[in-house]
Amino acid sequence: MTRESESGLPIEPVYGPEGAAGRDPAVRLGEPGAFPYTRGVYPTMYTGRPWTMRQYAGFGTAVESNARYKELIAHGTTGLSVAFDLPTQMGHDSDAAIAHGEVGKVGVAVDSVDDMRVLFDGIPLDRVSTSMTINAPAALLLLMYQLVAEEQGVPAAELTGTVQNDVLKEYIARGTYIFPPGPSLRLVADIFRYCRTELPKWNTISISGYHMAEAGASPVQEIAFTLADGVEYVRTAVAAGMDVDDFAPRLSFFFVARTTLLEEVAKFRAARRIWARVMRDEFGARNPKSWMLRFHTQTAGVQLTAQQPEVNLVRVAVQGLAAVLGGTQSLHTNSFDEAIALPTERSARLALRTQQVLAYETDVTATVDPFAGSYAVEAMTDDVEAAALALMRRVADMGGAVAAIERGFQKEEIERNAYRIAQETDAGERVVVGVNRFTLDAEEPYEPLRVDPAIEDRQAERLALLRAGRDAEEVRRALAALKEVAAGTENVLPPMKEALRARATVGEVCGALREVWGSYVPADAY
């Protein structure tokens, strides 16, 4: 009986050479580090050194998160990944009425450069790569990071890391948008232009399929909609007068790794192949680095269960292995208790140890592209590629990613797939260990990490002290200058940086931009 993949494509019981269209694998696949990068973006991949091991962390106050970062670095983390709380992601200060109850809950509260300074206190920013999961206010957090680095004496040109800066997926699957698509895309292009001269080693965007997958997207939908968003960003930057090779080498992507290991490996291979051809053939990029799809991977939070949470350790190990076999450049492994609450220090350390076992105790780093030539994986790669290209053409036929978003196309397609998964799970057709099969009569108690609700009051006190101690007139002038530039066509990051240097808050800077650009209200909100 033929099974179906997560994307609804057939998985044959046996694969043979006919699945490779009868072509010589060496001709068909190419070499690692060479166009179209099916086998990986670097010739040696992990044989020289393993992937960057990141752990996504941030909760409560900057002081608490700083302590967690130092703990992770001490245990071998090679890259930090910062989680911000919802008020910060939505451009609100911790003392705003709309922020009540959410301060420090799903990430760290950062209201000003003062908080950013505390967040990275004692962490050498010239030796640590930092990824920041922030989108609509990405420019603000990047500039605060640069300001703190300058205080440490670290030149901006030496900073390495990534700012997510992918607002299109917020309209599709996540919802932490602030401004309408037009000015949001302008802000993305301004970050590209700013970083080219100021932070040349910084990855200016992490075009994300992860959150679409968490919302229910299939592997095919995940890469099709993510790459379609990537096309939109490239078009925006080119339309703003930038040469494609001036910014494309700093583009990066962010995908999920599920437990369906074979299809995930095929998905990563297909995504690299599609992007290489889009950049070379559609946009005429000449620099081979512009053709490379480099990506970060996070294991699938949506597949973690609150029931029998220790089983998640196994899931995360399999998902992490899928990412490594698929050729990821960096990896975050989820903690086993994340379906219950924020990770404890112990569970975060175990998640990191999972990566270290993969890197140092297995042989997957001993050879480049272990699955090359696999009848099954190569045939599945072809299937995923064809299905993703068909879906990308549907988006293109609507006028591109923004036009499709305005029609609700991506959101509806993802919701339809999510409903299918829920139906299959409820019917027992899709096995979830510990949930609909192999259950326990009574769950063993587990004590989760809890965030102190008094954090909100402490952040409000810090904001009151900040406002009392700064030069209010300097802040007013800086915000006025920012609004003037936002109403024109110049790059908004330089005046934004000066406002943040004057200790304007996240809420004040985003509020100034809201006055000029407005706020996004989805069509289905009426």
Would you state the structure tokens that stand for residue 449, as one six-digit string? Answer: 């990490």
Give the pLDDT of residue 525. 55
Give the pLDDT of residue 344. 87
pLDDT at 39 over 50: yes
- For residues 372-398, average pLDDT: 96
Find the distance separating the first CA and the last CA of the chain, reported in whole Å: 47
pLDDT-derived band of residue 22, with 50, 70 and 90 as boundaries? very low
Which residue reads 């800086």 in tokens? 478
The burial of 288, by beta-carbon neighbours within 10 Å (0-12 exposed, 13-18 middle, 19 or more buried), is given as middle
- The 10s digit of each residue's pLDDT in 474-495 is 999 999 999 999 999 999 999 9
Would you state the structure tokens that stand for residue 350, as one six-digit string? Answer: 């175990």
Looking at per-residue pLDDT, the higher value among 25 and 366 belongs to 366
pLDDT at 28 over 80: no
Give the pLDDT of residue 47. 94
Least confident segment among 9-13, 43-47, 139-143, 410-414: 9-13
Backbone angles phi, psi at 84, to 5 degrees: -105, 150
Contact 133, 101 (CB under 8 A): no
Give the pLDDT of residue 1. 54
Helix (H, G, I), strand (E, B) or coil at 205: strand
pLDDT at 26 over 60: no
pLDDT-derived band of residue 21, with 50, 70 and 90 as boundaries? very low
- Would you kindly state where each structural domain of the chain is located, as residue ranges? 3-12+50-340+352-359+373-426
Give the pLDDT of residue 19. 55
Residue length, the chain?
526
- The 10s digit of each residue's pLDDT in 88-144 is 999 999 999 999 999 999 899 999 999 999 999 999 999 999 999 999 999 999 999
- For residues 234-250, average pLDDT: 96
CATH class of 3-12+50-340+352-359+373-426: alpha beta
Determine the number of helices (DSSP H) and then strands (DSSP E) in the chain: 21, 11
- For residues 259-270, average pLDDT: 98
Give the pLDDT of residue 18. 66
pLDDT at 391 over 70: yes
Give the pLDDT of residue 23. 45
Least confident segment among 341-350, 394-403, 432-441: 341-350
Considering all CA atoms of the chain, what is the largest pairwise distance in Å, rounded to the nearest integer? 73
- The 10s digit of each residue's pLDDT in 292-307 is 999 999 999 999 999 9
Type and span of the H or E element at 390: helix 375-397
- For residues 216-224, average pLDDT: 98
CA contacts within 13 A on the Cβ side of 434: 15
- For residues 388-410, average pLDDT: 97
Cα 520 to Cα 526: distance, rounded to the nearest angstrom: 12
Answer positive or negative: Cα dihedral of 485, 486, 489, 491: positive
Entry pTM: 0.93
pLDDT at 331 over 50: yes
Give the pLDDT of residue 495. 98
Nearest to 206 by CA among 254, 143, 169: 254
Query: Distance of CA 190 to CAs 88, 165, 179, 183, Å?
Result: 20, 11, 15, 10
The burial of 119, by beta-carbon neighbours within 10 Å (0-12 exposed, 13-18 middle, 19 or more buried), is given as buried
Q: Strand order of the sheet with strand 129-133?
A: 202-203, 161-163, 129-133, 79-83, 52-57, 330-332, 295-299, 251-257, 205-208
Contact 199, 154 (CB under 8 A): no
Cα 438 to Cα 104: distance, rounded to the nearest angstrom: 36
Percent of the chain whose predicted confidence (pLDDT) is above 90: 87
Cα 252 to Cα 458: distance, rounded to the nearest angstrom: 36
pLDDT at 224 over 50: yes
Q: To the nearest whole number, what is the mean pLDDT of the chain?
A: 94
Cα 189 to Cα 205: distance, rounded to the nearest angstrom: 10
Cα 522 to Cα 175: distance, rounded to the nearest angstrom: 10
